[in-house]
Amino acid sequence: MNTATTTLLLGRSHPLSGRSPYDWLFALLAVAGAVFAFSRYGEAMDVYEKGILVGSVPAVIWLGWFWGPLRTLMLGVTGVTLLAISLYSRTPDAFGADLAAGEKVFLLKYFLSSQSAILWMCVLCFMSTVFYWFGFAARGTDNVAQRLGSRFAWGAVFMALTGTMVRWWESHQIGAGIGHIPVSNLYEVFVLFCWLTALFYLYFEQHYRTRALGAFVMLVVSAAVGFLLWYTVAREAQQIQPLVPALQSWWMKLHVPANFIGYGTFALSAMVAFAYLIKQHAGETAWWKLAPLALLGIVLCFEPLVFRPGAQTAGASYWIVYFGISALIVGGILFARRAIAEKLPALELLDDLMYKAIAVGFAFFTIATILGAFWAAEAWGGYWSWDPKETWALIVWLNYAAWLHMRLMKGLRGSMSAWWALAGLVVTSFAFLGVNMFLSGLHSYGEL
């Protein structure tokens, strides 16, 4: 059987056929980058880290080939990160570069140091949210405001990744044994949550050819940004700290990103569910029937009053204002629900996107939970200890397992699935933040 016949019978071409010169150039650069990393840093890697590096090469190539915009994003982040490193390296010290240059060199101080880049991410996330919502007031379903919202979201992802990569490099310049992948504390994982959620949304935006949902999804990203800004000021969390002993493991490089793919896609599905219910209840005139939606919307669109009793007055005031703004936003959405619903996609599309986001998140959350069990066995001598964080991770897993079971086996659709997905983020948020705030245990190194 020849190739043409095989292609005809299978209905698809070989994955390597039809690749453009840009595809192959990207693959070559990915391999070259891995070779350079081995030659430059191989002696500092253990066997597991070398395995992760080798495995990341085909994964990066596949991702770039699977979704074209990722190639440009990865190449751009790499180029700008190397520029930042070169600016730092102009004044070397014992560890390779003088981090004080971050306050002296213009590009570093205002754009490319890790803290500056992450602050730009925050600004661009807010701008993206605003322009996406302006899109509902503009004419057409793919108007200039929505396109600007999408561009700003891409810019936020770009600056977040740049800040993350530069922060990773900066950590290695502080001193021996301090350098680590920046996913070790709440500040770093909130940055991870922001760009992962935005990036997954941008993929679905292109896949479904609609930008209307950006207004809803970027609300939850902006909520995370609001918490990140408060946490930065209140705890000076932007400072790079050495890892605690429990986190000094290569498992962290796998467990935490997989976990936050789950968190990000669960958040995305919840905001799509919120949009679904807004569209479904667009013609509702009885306001008391909208009260549960308003309450859940306030809780899920923005973090509610996370400061603890006894907190400083400034911190309390910040969260009171924040909560008030969130209430006004949700109230405005409910008031303008008819106009908003007209520009939202069909309910069937929203239902399908909700399902796909939860399916992706559940797969990665399952992987993260398994990896976490192996990590726990290495760090604490047991795969499972019913630690509060582990218990609530299991609750999250069971919640979405039940959702998927009901959908695949019982045909769960419509408002019930949307309410469930929306309420699921309450459970997920408590597992993510509430456990750190109110409970203690083996994961207490992540407390607020």
Residue 331: which residues within 8 A CB-CB, separation 6 or more? 294
DSSP 240: -
If pLDDT is split at 50, 70 and 90, which confidence band does 308 have? very low
Residue 434: which residues within 8 A CB-CB, separation 6 or more? 392
If pLDDT is split at 50, 70 and 90, which confidence band does 443 have? low
Q: Collapse the DSSP code of 19 into the 3-class scheme (helix H, G, I; strand E, B; otherwise coil) and give the result.
A: coil
If pLDDT is split at 50, 70 and 90, which confidence band does 316 have? low
Q: Collapse the DSSP code of 439 into the 3-class scheme (helix H, G, I; strand E, B; otherwise coil) and give the result.
A: coil
Instruction: Give percent of the chain with pLDDT exceeding 90.
Output: 55
| Number of residues that make up the chain | 448
Residue 210: which residues within 8 A CB-CB, separation 6 or more? 141, 345, 349
Here the tokens at position 212 are 């209307």
Handedness of CA 64, 68, 70, 75 (dihedral sign): positive
pLDDT at 92: 63
If pLDDT is split at 50, 70 and 90, which confidence band does 311 have? very low
| Mean pLDDT within 380-386 | 83
Here the tokens at position 211 are 């930008």
pLDDT at 95: 59
Question: Which residue would you say has higher pLDDT here, 20 or 11?
Answer: 20
Residue 55: which residues within 8 A CB-CB, separation 6 or more? none
Global pTM reads: 0.91
Distance CA(29)–CA(363), nearest Å, equals: 30
Q: How many Cβ atoms are within 10 Å of 341's Cβ, its own excluded?
A: 18
Average pLDDT of the chain, as a whole number: 86
Q: Per residue, what are the HEC states of 18-72? A: CCCHHHHHHHHHHHHHHHHHHHHHHHHCCHHHHHHHHHHHHHHHHHHHHCHHHHH
Closest C-alpha to 230, from 301, 157, 307: 307
- Predicted confidence (pLDDT) at residue 306 exceeds the cutoff of 70: no
What per-residue string of b and e applies to 384-408 under the rule 16 or more CB within 10 Å gives b? Answer: eeebbbbbbbeebbebbeebbeebe
In tens, the pLDDT along 396-430 reads 999 999 999 999 999 999 999 999 999 898 899 88
> What is the CA 415 to chain-centroid distance, rounded?
26
- Predicted confidence (pLDDT) at residue 174 exceeds the cutoff of 50: yes
Distance CA(444)–CA(251), nearest Å, equals: 18
What is the Cβ-side half-sphere exposure of residue 240, based on CA atoms within 13 angstroms? 23
Q: Collapse the DSSP code of 412 into the 3-class scheme (helix H, G, I; strand E, B; otherwise coil) and give the result.
A: coil
Backbone angles phi, psi at 368, to 5 degrees: -65, -40
Kindly report which listed range (76-90, 97-111, 267-281) carries the lowest average pLDDT score.
97-111
The alpha helices in 245-308, defined as continuous H runs, are 252-280, 291-301
